[in-house]
Structure 1
Amino acid sequence: MFKKAFMSLALLLISALSWGQGNPVHFTVAQKQVSPSEVDVVFTGTINNGWHVYSTALPDGGPISASLNVEKAVGAKAEGPLRHSGKEINIDDPIFGMRVRYFEHHVQFVQRFKITGKTYSINGYLEYGTCNDEMCMPPQSVDFNYKGNGPKDAPAATDETAAATADDASPADSAAATPAGEAQDSVAAAAQAQPADTATASIGDQLWTPVIDKMKAYQPDTEGKSLWYIFLMGLLGGIIALFTPCVWPIIPMTVSFFLHRSGEKGKGVRDAIIYGISIIIIYMTLALVITALFGPQTLNEMSTNAPFNIFFFLLLVVFALSFFGMFELALPSSWGNKVDSKASATTGLLSIFLMAFTLSLVSFSCTAPVVGLLLVQAATSNNWVAPAIGMFGFALALALPFTLFAMFPSWMKKAPKSGSWMNTVKVVLGFVELAFSLKFFSVADLAYGWGLLDRETFLALWIAIFTLMGLYLLGILHFRSDGDNPKAQPVACIMLGLCSLAFAVYMVPGLWGAPCKAVSAFAPPMYTQDFNLNKTEEVKAKYTSYEEGMAAAKAQHKPVMLDFTGFGCVNCRKMEAAVWTDPEVQKRLNDDYVLISLYVDDKTPLAKPIEVKDSKGNTRKLRTVGDKWSWLEQTKFGYLAQPYYVTLDNNGMPLSGSFVYKEDIPGFLEFLDNGLKEYKKR
């Protein structure tokens, strides 16, 4: 049963996602004749996994609502509000402080038009907002343009555009045409505060020069670093698994068997090497088969999908309880006996491979939790080869002792003997698994807006977990698996116990709002903190125009931090609440940089629409200020999602690459500091 559950988890975990800059939502539009005097314009959307499209008529101050914009209606008039169909998800969003509605996978929007003339001509566009758990796209649009004949007895066609807009647009749709309340006021205030004689550049000037190649050159080799991290984590996991009661006692028996079976040390060493290679092959095969079965489109979904994160949470809790001795994860003994009997009945390489497979089955109760934690971490690393690399590190650590002890039998005498210390390793690992499980529950809690695991609750649980682990290592706390007469703890356990207690004490000020940067990558963001004595002022950009902000930075001899954001970008608000509130980050943004926030969903109309062409020759019409900033982000930097941060010099050239959604205060500070250093060099 546990084997099937574990294999099912593994099969679901391993895959990868390499998100490109294309639109994760694909719409088709069609006209449907409802009656001689009515037509529907139907927008059918397919949404990539992990993304969602917001519904219609959301309240002011929230995400971008889906809305229809009629640019021309001759002989036809929009009738009623924009309708939608599909499975609408309705949840509380803690960032916007309201209930939001959105669709996943599929959605359909329908606008009905009443034909008022003998002929009709309608054109316009559907605008919608889309996000995932890490970023939001700028408002996207789907154009439509239809002509046709109406009833024969209808009057001559007249322009109904103004009437349709005035009479039939719902209040929510009208609100969607302008920035949300407070945000709109802040934009207006910022515009009034800016000097009237500031130089203003147009599209195509030097400040718009593409720097896509330069941006790529700044990107670090995070893939290689993450793979090394996964490998080392797998290696550490294998070392920990070695010192468990299911594995360590088997090593001397297995090595002794190889040396005595052959009668020759050389042949025994060769068999031990083959045995170790067989262990690596078995675990690597598991990872490779799983990766082959599932394509590179599931990994990011697994890392951000709330139901899967709940499953990860429950799985790690089960593993932790098994290590605490509440129950034992064990495969049916008949499985191991059958494989062992086949190994005894065969000879040569096959018998050695079957012996290695027997080890995998017999040690399941100790290795499964370690492998499960490793697979979960690898699956959330956004790299499709990470599971195989992690399993290689795990299997290498597991297999190496068999080979080394066969090559140097005298080492076995110096190795620690089996004893109660192996149970200590299991229990400590149980505490670690329990602590890690809360991270996955936090992802689901934030996604659904339950508010069950805010920051101080998370820290309180971690304080309790690491305090109990410290007391256990000091010999004060005992488990049933320790036996009736626990022995005095060795010095190494006492030192580790003190470190665990010190870590618990370090987190205590976090209950009152202290940053606790060492756990910031695991704890929920600061905005979930209910009781926070660390009050900081909000960072606000003085400029919401690219050209005006760049001119001001040049006059002040300061670098620029360009913030591509949106009024309806929930992930932008998360970054501002979790990272920008840090005092050091505030100091950099307020004192060392000129901060320019460009709202890609700013509905302020341009003086005149601008037609532009992308690199593929496709024409796009820029109608609003937000369209202009979205086009700047796409053409100059080769990116199309928010939040997106770039540091620039006064000529619009990048200083330290870019930074996207990641609640990592040290990483964001490093990004800003690197920009300052490069600016001083220039």
Structure 2
Amino acid sequence: MKAKTLLFLALLIIQSYVSAQILDPVKWSTSVEKISDTEYKLISKASIDPGWHLYSQNVPEDGPIPTTFSYLNEDTSFVLVGGTTEEEGHTVDDPIFNMKIKFFEDQATFEQIIEVFEIKSTYKGIVEFMVCDDQRCLPPTEVDLVFEIPNVDKTIVPNEKNNAKNSTITDEREVGAIAKSKSSRGLWAIFFIAFISGFAALLTPCVFPMIPLTVSYFTKQSKNKAVGIKNAVLYGISIIVIYVFLGSAVTAIFGADSLNALATNVWFNIIFFLLLVTFAVSFLGAFEITLPHSWANKIDAQSTKSGLIGIFFMALALAIVSFSCTGPIVGTLLVEAASKGGTAPIIGMLGFSLAIALPFALFAAFPGWLNSLPKSGGWLNTVKVVLGFLELALAFKFLSQADLVIQLHWLEREVFIAIWIAIFGALGLYLLGKIRLPHDSPMTHISVGRLGLALLTLTFTIYMIPGLWGAPLNLISAFPPPLEYSESPYGVGYSKVGAGTVSADHGDLPDGGHLLAPHDILAFNDYDKGLTYAKKVGKPILIDFTGWACVNCRKMEQNVWPKPAVLDVLKNKVVLVSLYVDDKRPLSTGEEVDSKLKPGKKLKYIGQKWSELQTIRYKANSQPFYVLMDHNEENLIDPVGYTPDTDEYYRWLEDGISKFKALH
């Protein structure tokens, strides 16, 4: 009995000892405080055992792991307003890390304000933290946080600004507003281009002859003019529904949030290039891209039905029969719109179909206008061929983007411009009748309109020729590779080490710095090295979130940056740090880290690192995106995106620099 008692006591002692090694000195609790109909405060409270310290979110380099909060927002139902705030805490000389460190004892409260677009009953987050006592530290620990809002219905709420909030909140919202404004302008551009493309499609041999035939059908088959107009309008609406459905399908298949990744994906750009070349060759007369005839026959049989169903199938029959002409145009629009991301394919198809549908409704309402339409003839094929040349030129934009992303230097600026000179030169000769293609009609004379278009095309061709020797070519700056991606970035006969007049004003280049040709701007492609140099020379930092495949970035670099006032700022008053979010070069060994946006995945490429930095810190993911900040990495002025107005961009730079000088 005595032995059993001793054994029991021994087991208790062992159990107590083992239990004592399993330390859990911090307990977390959460709560939610409602601020307004659109804002909530997520509160995380840590209860800390006596003798233990929980470290602040901001600790010196080489110190302990800081407390870090991340909030799960996969459905983008909210945005963070400012950063996570914390209490005053204690700042002492830490005996373990031998540095001044801020920490919390007994308890600590952290608060994060969110602005919601969709009110939910639960929001989730993760806190990573490290705790120490006077002699030891525990490994970093992650704890899931759940913030519950009781008695909440799932409703959509407007994103309104609350001007009473502090400047940090305003900055966050204004960054979002900038992104939304740029996105809105981009969608309007897609709509306008698609609308013009729809009118171009009308002038092709497959569509144009259908206008009088279809309108005549409606006017003859209808009991009176009002019914004819009604049926024609329904016909036009059916056309719009069909093409918008196509755009919606593309968005649904690829996903609205991931479409813009196509712009920097090498394989997609190569596929787009091959697709557009195929479309171009088809338009030039080598072959026709058609859908199976059985489809047209089945749809045509359905179109004989009366009422709305018959009208809808008539519109579908038009889409299928005219596919050989409209298919390449629609395909090009979808390719271009898909690279913009979001709902751009839907907006593009809306613009395209509206242009197709309008003539049918208008000519049905005013049949007398049909007499003013030009007769079908060889000019329709000419329109088709011209579109083929334009498709071919556009195709090389996508091949260039693929080459830029992987930095092969196969399609440098001079080669790209030479290809365009050949394409538009051939188009000019075709319009003058010097080149004949398979489906062209015999031409006895050149019309005034055709001659004018030929002269305009040849003028454009001649305009591009100086680009082979380094001219900026501002009219087409969005299409060729940037000036520095060139065989002779400083112009033919000029180099940094050879003959010519270009010289460096910076002497020996600092670590990580290079001269951005042809403007000769000292630039860094590494955030830390750029920040270190800025501190050394006492200048503010201009962060340029850019991309090799970013069209508007090239426009800024070639149209705005070279202006004397802006160029002086970039060369002498700021330190430029250009971070390419689509840089596909792998991170060096040891630099691969876990993604904060996609838990469980690692960042593999340099571009992913800069993309996450922009998304997490500035709540924006579009390029270009410019940030002026001081040496403490605090914004001097609200960031801006694409700003083609030189004066506006210059004022933004000067305002930020003035604030930097006031602080220093």
* TM-score for the superposition, normalised by structure 1: 0.57
> Which of the residues 402, 421, 440 maps onto 2:379?
421
Report what 2:456 is aligned to.
499
- Cα gap change, 1:337/1:598 in structure 2, threshold over 3 Å: closer, same or farther? closer
Q: How many Å separate the matches in 1 of 2:310 and 2:548?
A: 58
Offset at 1:289?
3.0
1:579 match: secondary structure: helix
Report what 1:352 is aligned to.
311
- Cα gap change, 1:310/1:381 in structure 2, threshold over 3 Å: closer, same or farther? same
Q: Mind listing any 5+ residue stretches in structure 1 that lack a counterpart?
A: 1-68, 73-141, 148-205, 554-559, 601-628
Report what 1:486 is aligned to.
443
Q: Which amino acid aligns with 1:376?
A: V
> Which of the residues 555, 558, 563 maps onto 2:542?
563
Q: Cα deviations across residues 91-133 of structure 1 (Å, max 9, x unaligned)?
A: xxxxxxxxxxxxxxxxxxxxxxxxxxxxxxxxxxxxxxxxxxx
Whose RCO is larger (CA < 8 A, sep 6+)?
1
Tell me which moved more, 395-404 or 528-537: 528-537
Offset at 1:339?
1.5
Offset at 1:254?
1.1
Report what 1:379 is aligned to.
338
Offset at 1:446?
1.9
Q: How many Å separate the matches in 1 of 2:190 and 2:208?
A: 24
- Cα gap change, 1:303/1:581 in structure 2, threshold over 3 Å: closer, same or farther? closer
Report what 2:369 is aligned to.
411
Contact 2:291 2:320 in 1 (8 A): yes
Offset at 1:432?
0.5
Report what 1:287 is aligned to.
247
- Percent same amino acid among aligned pairs? 41
2:439 match: secondary structure: helix
Matched, 1:237 2:192: no
> Which of the residues 470, 484, 488 maps onto 1:531?
488
Paired residue total: 450
Q: How many Å separate the matches in 1 of 2:652 and 2:129?
A: 46
Matched, 1:672 2:630: no
1:46-85 matches, within 5 Å, as none
1:309-458 matches, within 5 Å, as 309-344=269-304, 346-382=305-341, 384-458=342-416
Contact 1:306 1:444 in 2 (8 A): yes
1:20-35 matches, within 5 Å, as none
Q: How many Å separate the matches in 2 of 1:476 and 1:413?
A: 33
Q: Cα deviations across residues 625-668 of structure 1 (Å, max 9, x unaligned)?
A: xxxx99999998667999963347999997874356x8x9x567
Q: How many Å separate the matches in 1 of 2:271 and 2:169?
A: 47
Offset at 1:570?
9.0
Q: Which amino acid aligns with 1:349?
A: L
> Which of the residues 596, 605, 614 maps onto 2:575?
596
Contact 1:343 1:354 in 2 (8 A): yes
Matched, 1:646 2:646: no
Q: How many Å separate the matches in 1 of 2:554 and 2:362?
A: 53
Q: How many Å separate the matches in 2 of 1:262 and 1:638?
A: 57
Q: How many Å separate the matches in 1 of 2:438 and 2:190?
A: 34
Contact 1:589 1:595 in 2 (8 A): no
Q: Which amino acid aligns with 2:575?
A: I
Q: Cα deviations across residues 454-499 of structure 1 (Å, max 9, x unaligned)?
A: 100000000111111112222222212113x224222122111111
Q: How many Å separate the matches in 2 of 1:289 and 1:496?
A: 37
Contact 1:276 1:400 in 2 (8 A): yes
Q: How many Å separate the matches in 2 of 1:632 and 1:364?
A: 44
Q: How many Å separate the matches in 1 of 2:615 and 2:275?
A: 41
- Cα gap change, 1:589/1:210 in structure 2, threshold over 3 Å: closer, same or farther? farther
Report what 1:7 is aligned to.
none
- Cα gap change, 1:341/1:529 in structure 2, threshold over 3 Å: closer, same or farther? same
Q: How many Å separate the matches in 2 of 1:352 and 1:570?
A: 47
Q: Which amino acid aligns with 2:627?
A: V
1:564 match: secondary structure: strand
- Cα gap change, 1:215/1:546 in structure 2, threshold over 3 Å: closer, same or farther? farther
Report what 1:275 is aligned to.
235
2:521 match: secondary structure: coil
- Cα gap change, 1:404/1:215 in structure 2, threshold over 3 Å: closer, same or farther? closer
Report what 1:610 is aligned to.
none
- Cα gap change, 1:223/1:571 in structure 2, threshold over 3 Å: closer, same or farther? closer
Q: How many Å separate the matches in 2 of 1:396 and 1:241?
A: 12
Offset at 1:218?
5.5
Report what 2:639 is aligned to.
658
1:221 match: secondary structure: helix
Offset at 1:450?
2.8
Contact 1:278 1:356 in 2 (8 A): yes
Matched, 1:298 2:258: yes
Report what 1:104 is aligned to.
none
Contact 2:413 2:485 in 1 (8 A): yes
Q: How many Å separate the matches in 2 of 1:334 and 1:289?
A: 23
> Which of the residues 490, 511, 520 maps onto 2:468?
511
Contact 2:403 2:409 in 1 (8 A): yes
- Cα gap change, 1:580/1:208 in structure 2, threshold over 3 Å: closer, same or farther? farther
- Cα gap change, 1:507/1:657 in structure 2, threshold over 3 Å: closer, same or farther? farther
Offset at 1:235?
0.8
Q: Which amino acid aligns with 1:283?
A: Y
- Cα gap change, 1:426/1:545 in structure 2, threshold over 3 Å: closer, same or farther? closer
Report what 2:70 is aligned to.
none
Report what 1:261 is aligned to.
221
Q: How many Å separate the matches in 2 of 1:266 and 1:577?
A: 51
Offset at 1:679?
7.9
Offset at 1:448?
2.9
Matched, 1:307 2:267: yes
Q: How many Å separate the matches in 2 of 1:252 and 1:230?
A: 29
Q: Which amino acid aligns with 2:390?
A: V
Offset at 1:676?
3.8
- Cα gap change, 1:468/1:632 in structure 2, threshold over 3 Å: closer, same or farther? closer
1:331 match: secondary structure: coil
Offset at 1:440?
0.4
1:567-586 matches, within 5 Å, as 579=557, 584=562
* TM-score for the superposition, normalised by structure 2: 0.58
- Cα gap change, 1:381/1:340 in structure 2, threshold over 3 Å: closer, same or farther? same
Offset at 1:337?
1.8
1:479 match: secondary structure: coil
Q: Mind listing any 5+ residue stretches in structure 2 that lack a counterpart?
A: 1-60, 65-126, 133-165, 492-501, 503-517, 580-609
2:206 match: secondary structure: coil
- Cα gap change, 1:640/1:235 in structure 2, threshold over 3 Å: closer, same or farther? closer
